[in-house]
Amino acid sequence: MTPIEFLGLYPFQWLAIITAGTAFFLMIDALVGHYRRAFAYRMQYAPVVTGTALVVAALLAAGFPDLPLLNQLLSWAGWLAAATGLVGFAYHFYYGIVTKPGGLKWILHYLMYGAPIFAPLGLTAAGVLGIITAHGLAGEHAVFGLVMPIALFLFVAIALAGAIAQAGILHYRGAFNNPAMYAPLTVPSLAMIAGVWMALAPSTVARAAFAVLLWMTLLVGFIGFGMHLRGLDREMGGLYLWHVNLLEGPPQGAPGLFIAWAAIGLVGMYLL
Amino acid sequence: MTQQDQNMSSWSLTAPGIHGEPVPMRDWSREEVDVCVVGAGAGGGVVGAKLAEAGFSVVILDAGPHWDPMNDFISDEHASSKLYWTDERITGGDNPVELGTNNSGRGVGGSTVHYSMIALRAHPDHFRRRTIEGAVENTDHRDWPLAFDDLEPYYEEVEEALQIAGPTFYPWGKPRRRRYPQREHELSASANVLVRGCAKLGIPVAPSPIATLSAPHEDRPPCVYRGFCNFGCTTNAKSSILVTYIPRAIRAGAEVRGNAMVARITHDSRGRATGVLHFRKGSDELFQQRAKSVIVAGYAIESPRLLLNSSSSLFPQGLANSSGIVGKYFMVQSSEQVFAKFPERINQYKAPPPGGAITEHFNRTMPGVGFVGGYTIEVIGPHPVDFVAKMAAGRGLWGAELRREMFDYNHFSALGMVGTVMPNRKNEVKLHETERDRYGLPVPHVIFSYHENDKRLIKHSIAKMKEIFEAAGGTDVWSDHRTSHLLGCCRMGDDPADSVVNADCRAHDVPNLFICDGSVFPNSTGVNPSLTIQALAARTADRITDMARRGELW
Amino acid sequence: MRSTQEQNDEFRSPYPRYNVLDKWLSPDWDDQTREVVRRRLEKVPPIRFFSEKEAQTLAAVAERIIPQPERKEGEKIPIVPWIDEKLYEDTRDGYRYEKLPPQRQAWQQGLAGIDETAGMLFKGRRFVDLDAESQDEVLKRVQKGDPPGEIWKQLPSRSFFEHILLKIVVKTYYMHPLAWNEIGYNGPSSPRGHVRIWENGLDPWEAQEEARRR
C-alpha cells in the first residue's frame, strides 16, 4: 500500500481537509439550527466551539503533516468533537423529544420538528475521521484494529447511514415535494451497501460498484447544494427574505455531508 | 356541449391570478352555458372547476369581488372585514347567531379565504346518527342518504387537491387508506399547551390536519406562520378555494364572475331552471345568465334565501320547496371558546390559528354524559381586536381593568371546540317581512335556539377545555360563547316530502337544479364541515357528469 | 382625584420600549397594509354623523370603557371619529339582533338613553358633566339592564351595551398601533412571518417584555 499523491497532497492530507470541510458544514448547520432556537441552552454553543476547533486543527494538520504536535492536536480535537456529538445526540433526544409536550408518544412529530436527532452524530463522525486522519498522518497503517482502507470504507458506510437517516426524516417532512428528494436516500444507500461489501469481501466487482456509487453520491451532494438553494428560493420571499428562509428552508450545508463521505471513500479507494 | 358552443365564447376577459398577474378568462355572459354555479366558495368552487375540467361550459358567480391575494389582502384585522358578508341579516331566537364574521364569506373563494383551514373528515357514524343515537325529543336528526364510503374517495381527491398537511397516523375516524399529501406543521405555543394538558390528563391528542402547505407545492410556498390566516393569506400557502380550484376552473374554460349578486333563479313553464338573474357591481340592472342547469352554493343562509326569493306562480312557496322545508332545520356548530393565562409568552398572533394540534377524543356519542353527539377541541389564535371583544363579552370587562388585563394579551392561550347541534324545525332562515337590502331583496331572518342536548354538550365541552388548561398550568380561565359554520336549510334525503335534494344534491322538484354546500347537511358532524362540503361537491360534479353524459340532464 | 403619576403607573405597559411603527419599512409591512395604517394614523375622519352633543357623550363613554388618562387630549387613540365614520357610511356588521333597531338609530337612541339615565340618577346632569365614578355607575346600570329612562323601554339597554357599544368601542381602540405597542402585539406580518412559534420563542423583531406585573 503506497500512498499516492494527488494535486500535490498525500491522501491523509486530503482526509484532513475533508475533515475540516465536514466539521465546517456541521458547525454552520449547528449555528443556524441553534440560533433558530435562540441558544436557549448554553450547551448549544458546544458544537460551534468544538466544530471550529476541529476545523482549525484539521487544517493545521493538513498544512504541516510532519509536525507531531499538530497531529496530536487533531487527534484531541477529534476526540472532543466526537464526544460533543455523542452528548449532543443525548441532548437532542432528551430535550428535543422526551421532555417536549407529548414526549415519546409524539416521536414522529419531534423527529421532524424537534432537534435533528442524527445531526450531532455527524459531528461525532467528523471527530472520528479526525482521529483516523491523525493516525494516518502519523504513518500508521491501521486504526481501531483495522487496516486503513477497510477502516475508511466501514466509516463511510456508517457515516452514510446517519446522513441518509437524517435526510430521510427531513425529506419526509418536506413530503418529497420534488422527486429529486429521493436521490439522497437511494444512491447513498447502495453506496453504503457496496462499502460494507468492499470492507468485508473486497473484489473487483465490489470495487467497481463502490466506485461508481461513490461518484454518484458525490454528484448527489453537489446537485443537493443547488436544490437546497432552489428550495430556499421557493420559500415565501425567497432570497429576499434569506434571513428567515435560511432558518426555515432546506439546511444549506447538509448536502455537503454526502460529498464529504463519498470523497473519503474515493480517497480510500484511489489514493491509499 | 359541442365544439361549436366552445367557439362562441372568447377568452376576452381577465381574472386576477394568484401571483398578482392577470390571467385570461372566457366570457360566457352572452351564451347559454351548461352549468351556472351560484357561489364561488367551498361547494361552488369545487363543483364548478370539476365540471369545467369535464368539458362543460361553466359560469361561477359570486356576490363579492374576485380577490387578488397579492394585493387585496391586508395584514390588519379591521381592514379585513371586507372578506365577510356584511349585508344586514336579522338574527333572532333564544340564541341569536352572530353572523358576518367567521361564518360568512363574500368574494371568490367564499369563507375559505378566511377559514381556519382545519380539514377533518366526518366519521362514518356521523352519516348514520339517527340509527346510532335513536330519536331525540324535539329534534329530527336524520341519517344521510349516503354513507361515508360513498364520500371516502372524494375526501381523498379533495385532500390531494388541497395538499392537506396532516399527521402520519391520525387516530380518529375511519383509518385512512392513503397518507396525507403533506406532513403536519410544527406545533405553536398554543398547540403545545393543548398537547401538554391532554398528555397530563391522558386524553389522546394528535397533530391537526390543516389546509396549509408545509412544503412547497407547484408555485406556492409553504406557510411562514404569519398568523393572519383568518384575514386572507398573502403568501398563497393557504389552500383556499381561491388559489386551488378557482385557477383550475379558469384554466379549464370557466368564467368566474365576481361582484355578481344573484337575485333569482329563472325557470320555464315546465318548471326547469333556465338560468339566473343577477346584479353587477355599480348597476341596478338585472343581467340574465342563461344556463341548462343551475347549482346553488351560497351556504346555509343565502342558498335557501335565493330559493325562497325565486318563488313564482309555478313555485309559490319558493323554488324546490314543495316540501315546505327550504329554510328549515337551520344549524350552526357550537364553538365555545376557553381562555387561560400562562406564565410563558404564548404570542397567539403567530402561526396558523389551529396551531397544529387537535383532539377528537370527545367526538363520539359518549355513555353517561346525558347528551348525544360530540365535539372536537381545537386551538385558536385571536388577534387583539377579536380577542378584546371576546374578553369584553365573555367577562363583561371594561374600564381600567380591561385595559390592564389586555397587557397580558401575549400570555393568553385559547381553545375552541366544534360541536354537533341538533336539527330543529323551528330553527330557520326565512325572508324578512319588511327589511330589504341594497338590491331591494328581502333580507334573511335567521332564527336559532339551542336544544337541551346542545346545551349539555356545550357545558361538557367547557368543563373539559377548562380541565385541559388547568392541567397545562393555566390560570384565570374564562370562556366565551360563539358559534361557527352554517348548516342545514336544504337538507338531503330520499323522501321528496321531507327533504329538498337527494344524495346527488339534486333538487327533488327541479331536475336541473342542484344545491351544493353546507345547507344540504341533514345533521351536523362533530368536525369542521369544509372538507365534507368539498368532498360532496366533488362527488356531485362526478354525478352530474355521469347524468349529463347519459342525457338525463339537458 | 389621583395624581398623574399614579395614572401613568396604572397603565404602564410591560413593553415600554416597543414601537410597532419602527417596523414600517421592514419586510413585515406590505404596501397595502402600510396604506391602511397610514390612513388610520393620519386621516382621522371628521364628525359627520353624530350631533355635537352625541359626540361629546360618546367621547365621555369611551373614556370610561377604555380610559386613556395618561394621554393628553389630541394624543389619545381616537374612538368617536371611527364610529362616526362607520355610521356615516352605514357600514354594517352582517347581522342585527331582531330586538335592536338599525345601527344608526341604535346609537342615537343609546347615547340619548345614557344621558337620560345620567339625568335621572344625578339631578338632571348630563353624562359628560358627571365625575368618573358616577359615569361608571350609569354605564353599569345600562350594562345590567335596569337603567331608569323612557328610551330604554324601546331599546334593550343590556343588548345595546354588550352587542354594540362595548364591542365596537374596544375594537376601535385595539385597531390602533399605540394599542398594539402597549400589549406587545407584533402587528402586521406580511410577507415575513415567524420562525420561533413556540412558548417564549421570540423572533428578533417581536416585542420584548420588560416588567411583567404580578
Condensed to tens digits (0 to 9), the pLDDT of residues C25-47 reads 999 999 999 999 999 999 999 99
Q: Tell me whether residues C191 and A37 touch, CB distance under 8 A.
A: no
* C162 CA: distance to closest CA in chain B (Å): 7
Q: Is B74 on the interface with C (CB under 8 A)?
A: yes
> What gap in Å lies between CA B280 and CA B66, rounded to an integer?
13
Q: Is B186 on the interface with C (CB under 8 A)?
A: yes
Q: Is A101 on the interface with C (CB under 8 A)?
A: no
* Of the partner residues A236, A240, A247, the one whose CB lies closest to the CB of residue C195: A247
Burial class for A42, CB neighbours closer than 10 Å (0-12, 13-18, 19+): exposed
Within this chain, do residues A194 and A158 fall inside the same structural domain, yes or no?
A: yes
* Of the partner residues C97, C183, C191, the one whose CB lies closest to the CB of residue B409: C183
Domain residue limits at A190: 144-272
> What gap in Å lies between CA B77 and CA B385, rounded to an integer?
7
Q: Tell me whether residues C196 and A244 touch, CB distance under 8 A.
A: no
Within this chain, do residues A43 and A170 fall inside the same structural domain, yes or no?
A: no
Amino acid identity of residue A270, one-letter, is: Y
Question: Are B403 and B411 in contact, with CB atoms under 8 Å apart?
Answer: no
pLDDT of the residue at C5:
62
Helix C103-121 to helix C52-65 angle (10° resolution) is 80
> Taking CB atoms and an 8 Å cutoff, what residues of chain B touch A112?
183-184
Chain C residue with minimum CA distance to A39: C201
Q: What is the DSSP letter of B271?
A: S
CB pairs under 8 A between B and C: 195
Q: Strand runs (DSSP E) across chain C, as ranges?
A: 96-97
* Residue that finishes a domain, picked among A71, A106, A140: A140
Q: Is C192 on the interface with A (CB under 8 A)?
A: yes
3 state SS of B107: coil
* Of the partner residues B167, B183, B205, the one whose CB lies closest to the CB of residue A175: B183
Q: Tell me whether residues B195 and A102 touch, CB distance under 8 A.
A: yes
> Taking CB atoms and an 8 Å cutoff, what residues of chain C touch B226?
189-194
pLDDT of the residue at C88:
98
Q: What is the DSSP letter of C2?
A: -
Q: Is C30 on the interface with A (CB under 8 A)?
A: no
Within this chain, do residues A135 and A150 fall inside the same structural domain, yes or no?
A: no
CA A104 to chain centre: 26
- For residue C146, being part of any structural domain is answered with yes
> What gap in Å lies between CA A49 and CA A27, rounded to an integer?
8
Count of beta carbons in the 10 Å neighbourhood of residue B55: 15
Count of structural domains, chain C: 1
Within this chain, do residues A62 and A176 fall inside the same structural domain, yes or no?
A: no
Residue C133 has which C-alpha cell? 365614578
* B19 CA: distance to closest CA in chain C (Å): 13
Within this chain, do residues A120 and A160 fall inside the same structural domain, yes or no?
A: no
- Which domains, and CATH codes, for chain B? 3-549 (3.50.50.60)
> Taking CB atoms and an 8 Å cutoff, what residues of chain A touch B168?
108
* C213 CA: distance to closest CA in chain A (Å): 24
Residue C142 has which C-alpha cell? 345600562
Count of structural domains, chain A: 2
- For residue C201, being part of any structural domain is answered with no
* B155 CA: distance to closest CA in chain C (Å): 30
Chains that touch B (3 or more CB pairs under 8 A): A, C
pLDDT of the residue at B308:
98
Tens-digit pLDDT profile for chain B (554 aa)?
444 455 567 899 999 999 999 999 999 999 999 999 999 999 999 999 999 999 999 999 999 999 999 999 999 999 999 999 999 999 999 999 999 888 889 999 999 999 999 999 999 999 999 999 999 999 998 999 999 999 999 999 999 999 999 999 999 999 999 999 999 999 999 999 999 999 999 999 999 999 999 999 999 999 999 999 999 999 999 999 999 999 999 999 999 999 999 999 999 999 999 999 999 988 889 999 999 999 999 999 999 999 999 999 999 999 999 999 999 999 999 999 999 999 999 999 999 998 899 999 999 999 999 999 999 999 999 999 999 999 999 899 999 999 999 999 999 999 999 999 999 999 999 999 999 999 999 999 999 999 999 999 999 999 999 999 999 999 999 999 999 999 999 999 999 999 999 999 999 999 999 999 999 999 999 999 999 999 999 999 999 999 999 999 88
pLDDT band at A1 (very low <50, low <70, confident <90, very high): very low
* Of the partner residues C174, C183, C189, the one whose CB lies closest to the CB of residue B407: C183
Helix or strand run (H / E) with residue B340: strand B337-341
Chain B residue with minimum CA distance to A108: B168
3 state SS of C151: helix
Within this chain, do residues A112 and A187 fall inside the same structural domain, yes or no?
A: no
pLDDT band at A144 (very low <50, low <70, confident <90, very high): confident
Helix A11-36 to helix A255-266 angle (10° resolution) is 170
Half-sphere exposure (Cβ direction) of B294: Cα atoms closer than 13 Å:
30
Within this chain, do residues A2 and A134 fall inside the same structural domain, yes or no?
A: yes
* Residue that finishes a domain, picked among A140, A175, A204: A140
Interface test with B, best of C9, C61, C197 (most B CBs within 10 A): C197
Within this chain, do residues A55 and A134 fall inside the same structural domain, yes or no?
A: yes
pLDDT band at A3 (very low <50, low <70, confident <90, very high): low
Within this chain, do residues A148 and A131 fall inside the same structural domain, yes or no?
A: no
Q: Tell me whether residues B186 and A113 touch, CB distance under 8 A.
A: yes
Q: Tell me whether residues A244 and C192 touch, CB distance under 8 A.
A: yes
* B328 CA: distance to closest CA in chain C (Å): 18
CB pairs under 8 A between A and C: 20
> What gap in Å lies between CA B444 and CA B87, rounded to an integer?
10
Count of beta carbons in the 10 Å neighbourhood of residue A49: 13
Within this chain, do residues A60 and A125 fall inside the same structural domain, yes or no?
A: yes
Residue A141 has which C-alpha cell? 497503517
Chains that touch A (3 or more CB pairs under 8 A): B, C
Interface test with A, best of B182, B183, B225 (most A CBs within 10 A): B183
pLDDT band at A271 (very low <50, low <70, confident <90, very high): confident
> Taking CB atoms and an 8 Å cutoff, what residues of chain A touch C196?
36-38
Q: Is A174 on the interface with B (CB under 8 A)?
A: yes
Interface test with A, best of B188, B224, B239, B468 (most A CBs within 10 A): B224
Give pLDDT tens digits for A53-96: 999 999 999 999 999 999 999 999 999 999 999 999 999 999 99
pLDDT of the residue at B2:
46
Q: Is A230 on the interface with B (CB under 8 A)?
A: no
pLDDT of the residue at A2:
59
- The DSSP line for B249-285 is HHHTT-EEE-SEEEEEEEE-TTS-EEEEEEEETT--S
pLDDT of the residue at C214:
46
Within this chain, do residues A96 and A187 fall inside the same structural domain, yes or no?
A: no
> Taking CB atoms and an 8 Å cutoff, what residues of chain C touch B105?
none
> Taking CB atoms and an 8 Å cutoff, what residues of chain B touch C213?
404, 407
Q: Is C195 on the interface with A (CB under 8 A)?
A: yes
pLDDT of the residue at B537:
98
* A24 CA: distance to closest CA in chain B (Å): 27
pLDDT of the residue at C212:
58
Interface test with C, best of B210, B407, B475 (most C CBs within 10 A): B407
Residue A260 has pLDDT above 50, yes or no: yes
* Of the partner residues B183, B196, B237, the one whose CB lies closest to the CB of residue A101: B196
Domain residue limits at C147: 51-180
Q: Is the ipTM of this complex over 0.90?
A: yes
CB pairs under 8 A between A and B: 58
At A213, give phi and psi (nearest 5°).
Answer: -70, -35
* Of the partner residues B98, B346, B384, the one whose CB lies closest to the CB of residue C180: B384
pLDDT of the residue at A10:
87
- For residue C23, being part of any structural domain is answered with no
- For residue C137, being part of any structural domain is answered with yes
Residue C139 has which C-alpha cell? 354605564
- Of A154-163, B422-431, C4-13, C105-114, which range is least confident? C4-13
> Taking CB atoms and an 8 Å cutoff, what residues of chain A touch C202?
38
> Taking CB atoms and an 8 Å cutoff, what residues of chain C touch B387?
174
CA–CA–CA angle B512, B240, B245 (5° rounding):
45
Question: Are B294 and B275 in contact, with CB atoms under 8 Å apart?
Answer: yes
Residue A43 has pLDDT above 60, yes or no: yes
Long-range contacts of C157-161 (CB under 8 A, 24+ apart): C157/C110, C157/C113, C159/C97, C159/C99, C159/C100, C160/C100, C160/C106, C160/C109, C160/C110, C160/C113, C161/C110
Residue C156 has pLDDT above 60, yes or no: yes
- For residue C94, being part of any structural domain is answered with yes
Within this chain, do residues A74 and A162 fall inside the same structural domain, yes or no?
A: no
* Residue that finishes a domain, picked among A94, A121, A140: A140
CA distances from B380 to B102, B230, B397 (A): 12, 10, 21
> What gap in Å lies between CA C211 and CA C190, rounded to an integer?
29
* C176 CA: distance to closest CA in chain B (Å): 10
* Of the partner residues B187, B215, B224, the one whose CB lies closest to the CB of residue A175: B215
Q: Tell me whether residues C195 and A240 touch, CB distance under 8 A.
A: no
Residue A5 has pLDDT above 90, yes or no: no
Mean pLDDT of A102-113: 96
What contacts B283, CB < 8 A, 6 or more positions away?
Answer: none
Count of beta carbons in the 10 Å neighbourhood of residue C165: 26
